Amino acid sequence: MVNSTVVDHEIIIVGAGFAGIGTAIALRKAGFDDFLMVDDADGAGGTWHWNTYPGIGVDIPSFSYQYSFEQQRTWSRVYAPGRELKAYAEHCVNKYGLRPRIRFSTSIVRADFDDALHLWRLRTGDGEELTARYVIGATGVLTRPKLPEIAGVERFTGVTMHTSRWDHDQDLRGKRVGVIGTGASAVQVIPEIAPEVAELVVFQRTPIWCLPRPDTALPPVVHRLLGLPGGKLVTRWLSQAFVELTFPLAAHYYGVLPMSKLGERTGLAHLRDQVDDPEVRAKLTPDYALGCKRPSFSNDYLKTFNRSNVRLDTEPIAEITATGVRTAAGHHRVDVLIMATGFKVMESGNMPTFDLHGSGGVRLEDWWDEHRLQAYEGVSVPGFPNFFTIIGPYGYNGSSYFALIEMQTRHILRLLRKARGSHATRIEVTEEANERFFEEMLNRRGTQVFWQDSCTRANSYYFDKNGDVPLRAMTTPEGFWRAGHFDFADYRFTALGTRSGSTVEAAARTTVR
Ligand code: NAP
């Protein structure tokens, strides 16, 4: 029996950042050529397309912050600046022939699963409908800028900008500038703009752990060495080991290997080395354990507070006025207000960035509200057939984002191959498999760094509204192994024209318009 459902594309990937690009390359390599990528930006690179603030760069060594199959040896620094990442994204798009497959400046606002035809109907912001057998969510999590809910924010008459939407037409030289927030973006922006502005006031709510960054320029001779046989391989392995030790192992196996204690000592010594005034140093010292929230890495951030034109205000912001910011310490007049206030990480409208309705019309956000954030291996959710996500709950273990992308595409590709081989048109994770995985993740909490009492003071976006930390509690090698070995019985593969779970016998034909 052959059914002849016509879809626009076999697969639609939502997002043309590194997750989308990596997925598209994996699909092509596996012979899945009928796919479309959609992105609301007018260029590729996701985070690295949108974030162009002064000082932007990676905070994971570049040797790891790239695809394993497309290693570049010309990074200018161990921690490459943002523009090189954007160029790397464009390079990958061109090299793997993806450009004709991407629709830029197109947002997906809604997706509905058609139970009768085993396909997804996606609606764009312009009201167009696109259909696909499978949808892969590659919209990241640091996607939707978050503006602070502070009284009077709309009254400010100067220039306001969020770090992820930097306005390069604004000349900050000689201006009075306020920065709200002291997360990773602020840590990079503050030392970069401080020397050129007249005055800089930093509004800090929670101090960040700031560790030294083992960064250095990589001159042409290093690029040549990396080109020698084994050069890239050795550097990659050393870099991977460093990342694994400092992120996933430190976070998920804290109970076994309390490395963050060593990190705290390093962070405190860094503060002593860099900050002259003991009062300022005390204000910059976190009162929660390292690891509760994402730390930062900078050799310049802390010492910026020694500058005579930089002030740190740690009083809560009472209001934003037409001309500045008021706290208990006084009113600070500013010409420019920079919102380094982060992203709607686990808030509604972000995971994914479009309204997703699965089998029976159930809304994914409602399902998560009812069941807590969860996804089998961080990829699939029961009741949402043919939808796979790159960074779902319990998908990311804190390692390089590229490791996540390659891990999850491995999982997804196994499913797609299996479905193709058996002519299935509907792939759905079973509730039992999902529950088992969720329980397993919860049971691994015992050794994680996040459950120390002081984490309640950290204001960390790792915690969702239920108090869960939906990070993947495992090492990167384990994640990779599981992506290649999960039991196909954890999924139901069904073909149109057969009852759910019965033998797959139909062949689906997809046609490109
Ligand atoms: P973030 O880490 O969420 O930091 C937001 C900051 O704004 C926090 O200090 C927060 O204070 C503050 N804030 C928010 N609302 C506020 C309010 N109403 N009043 C006062 N302060 C307020 O955001 P981010 O710095 O943009 O970084 C987000 C993530 O992006 C990072 O964790 C990292 O994963 C990624 N990133 C990576 C790099 C890199 O080097 N590769 C660079 C930048 C960003 P509280 O802490 O008190 O909430």
With the C-alpha atoms ordered 400, 401, 405, 411, is the resulting torsion angle positive or negative?
A: positive
> Which ligand 1 atom sits nearest the alpha carbon of residue 461?
3
pLDDT value of position 512 = 30
According to the model, what pLDDT value does residue 499 have?
Answer: 55
Give long-range contacts, CB 8 A cutoff, 24+ apart: 76-82. Answer: 76/217, 76/218, 77/215, 77/216, 77/217, 77/218, 78/214, 78/215, 78/216, 78/218, 79/213, 79/215, 79/297, 81/56, 81/57, 82/48, 82/51, 82/52, 82/56, 82/57, 82/58
Distance 335 CA to ligand 1 centre (A): 22
- Whether the per-residue pLDDT at 166 is higher than 80: the answer is yes
pLDDT in tens, 53-76: 999 999 999 999 999 999 999 999
* Residue nearest atom 26 in ligand 1 by C-alpha distance: 342
Question: Is residue 248 reached through a cis peptide bond, with omega within 30 degrees of 0 on the bond before it?
Answer: no
Structure confidence by residue, pLDDT tens digits, 74-89? 999 999 999 999 999 9
Fill in the amino acid letter for 298: S
Probe residue for ligand 1, chosen from 142, 189, 283 as the CB with the greatest number of ligand atoms within 8 Å:
142
CA of 361 to the centre of ligand 1 (A): 35
Q: Which of 129, 138, 139 has its CA nearest to residue 7?
A: 129
- pLDDT of 346 reads 84
Tens of pLDDT, residue by residue over 113-122, are 999 999 999 9
Q: What percent of the chain has pLDDT above 90?
A: 92
pLDDT category, 347, cuts 50, 70, 90?
A: confident
**Cβ atoms < 10 Å from Cβ of 199:** 18
The C-alpha atoms of residue 158 and residue 141 are separated, in whole angstroms, by: 30
Long-range CB contacts for residues 324-332, cutoff 8 Å, separation at least 24: 324/156, 324/158, 324/178, 325/178, 325/180, 325/201, 325/203, 327/203, 332/176, 332/178, 332/201
**The length of the chain, given as a count of residues:** 513
101 contacts: CB under 8 Å, gap ≥ 6: 24, 35, 36, 37
Q: Using one digit for the tens of pLDDT, what is the confidence trace for 443-477?
A: 999 999 999 999 999 999 999 999 999 999 999 99
| Helix H or strand E encompassing 438 | helix 431-443
Average pLDDT over residues 407-436: 98
CA-proximal residue: ligand 1, atom 46 (nearest): 206
What's the 342 CA to ligand 1 centre distance in angstroms? 4
When pLDDT is cut at 50, 70 and 90, the band that residue 478 belongs to is very high
Mean pLDDT of 284-303: 97
Query: d(Cα 246, Cα 377) in Å, to the nearest integer?
Result: 22
Ligand 1 centroid from CA 65, angstroms: 20
Which atom of ligand 1 is nearest to 148's Cα?
A: 18
Question: Which of 18, 160, 166, 185 for mutating ligand 1's site (highest number of atoms within 8 Å of CB)?
Answer: 185
DSSP state of 385: T
Domains of the chain: 3-143+345-512 (3.50.50.60), 153-213+255-288+298-339 (3.50.50.60)
What pLDDT was estimated at residue 4?
A: 44
> How high is the mean pLDDT of the chain?
94
146-155 residue pLDDT tens: 999 999 999 9
Identify the residue whose tokens are 């593969």: 493
Rounded to the nearest whole angstrom, what is the distance from the C-alpha of residue 411 to the centroid of ligand 1? 31
pLDDT tens for 379-412 read 999 999 999 999 999 999 999 999 999 999 999 9
- The residue type of 280 is V
- Give residues (CB < 6 A) around ligand 1: 57-59, 142, 148, 150, 163, 180-186, 188, 203, 205-206, 294, 317, 340-343, 459, 461
Count of CA atoms in the C-beta half-sphere (13 A) of 177: 27
Residue nearest to atom 21 of ligand 1 (CA): 181
Give the pLDDT band of residue 5 (cuts 50, 70, 90). low
Spatial separation of the C-alpha atoms in residues 414 and 97, rounded to whole Å: 23
Q: pTM to 2 decimals?
A: 0.94
**Which atom of ligand 1 lies nearest, measured to the CA of 458?**
46
Task: Report the nearest-CA residue for atom 16 of ligand 1.
Answer: 148
pLDDT average, residue stretch 338-344? 96
> Relative to the CA of 184, which ligand 1 atom is closest?
25
Work out the percent of the chain whose per-residue pLDDT is above 70.
96
Mean pLDDT value across residues 198-206: 98
Sign of torsion, CA 49 51 243 304? Answer: positive
